[in-house]
Amino acid sequence: MKHNKNNNAKKTKILITGAGGFIGGHLVNYFDLQQNTEIRAVDIKPLAEWQQVNRNAENVVSDLKDFKNCQIVSKGIDEVYNLAADMGGMGFIENNKGLCMLNVLINTHMLMAAAKFGVKRFFYSSSACIYPLNKQSNSNVIELKESDAYPAMPEDGYGWEKLFSERMCRHFSEDFNLVTRVARFHNVYGPFGEYKGGREKAPAALCRKVIEAKINKKKNIEIWGDGQQTRTFMYIDDCVKGIDLIMHSEIDEPINLGRSELVTINELLSIIEKIAEIKLNRQYNLDAPQGVRGRSSDNSLIKKYLNWEPEVDLHEGMKKTYRWIEEKERSK
């Protein structure tokens, strides 16, 4: 959705939570470039630890688990994009279920503040982790439709919190006339994401391991699981565009936001090896966190509503991601 700057038009006041994180940082930049907005960017991390800092935004450090803070940042806002969450890749969410559940405080208090101050639209970033585990137990997974969410059996911890928060959005719309939009993200990747430290996801983690092997002249690489797990991966540019389109649509039900291009972890590594021009010996760690066996996004609904779906080719997106991580690693 293209928005042109117009200094005479009334500016939309946007609040982006989790703005110091990967997706939040890109979303701040997206709206700063394309929409006539005033942006308030909020994150719990000190500003020096934000993935990106846009100096055109009002950048605020605040803990949104506290209702008082949610009220302070929501006052005078037209649109809320709630991306704030304590989360990471599979290595983090499998070992921090309690912390992931505490994210419900953020969405609860942000919804309460949005209703109190008459926010016009509220976007919530949900996850494909809400889908039942029994529908993701095979590598040859059937694409997950939005209607598959119930009967509920989501990923423990993180998935349950996301599903509960989806329901909260629905009921705040019903009870308080707050327009809410919910997108279920499927494995977002790209530059400025975490690539080490325990919160990184598979694309960034594999890029880092390949780069380390090249720098240190190693011949081996460790893969979590047997490499036959299947996933779809969505490039960050598609993610932020999709958020904008969904937020300003008439879609009043949770909807998938992800690519439908299914690959195994082994195939993902092969793409990275081709970009890096290296071939490594694969060592499989079957005791490491692996997540579900297979997960793929059914995009029928988003194509029906928007005549659009995420489109950036995986090889092209991974090339940009690899180059960014390589630059960071070689500049240390």
Spatial contact of 39 and 16, defined as CB atoms under 8 Å apart:
yes
DSSP letter string, 279-329: --EEEEETTS----SB--B--HHHHHHHS------HHHHHHHHHHHHHHHH
Token pair listed for 141: 């997974």
**Residue of 158, 189, 195, 235 marked catalytic:** 158
- Return d(Cα 184, Cα 228) in angstroms, integer: 24
Closest CA to 296 of 231, 218, 212: 231
Chain mean position to CA 49: 18
- φ/ψ of residue 10, rounded to 5: -65, 130
Amino acid of residue 199: R
Tell me, yes or no, if 158 is annotated catalytic: yes
Active-site amino acid positions: 158
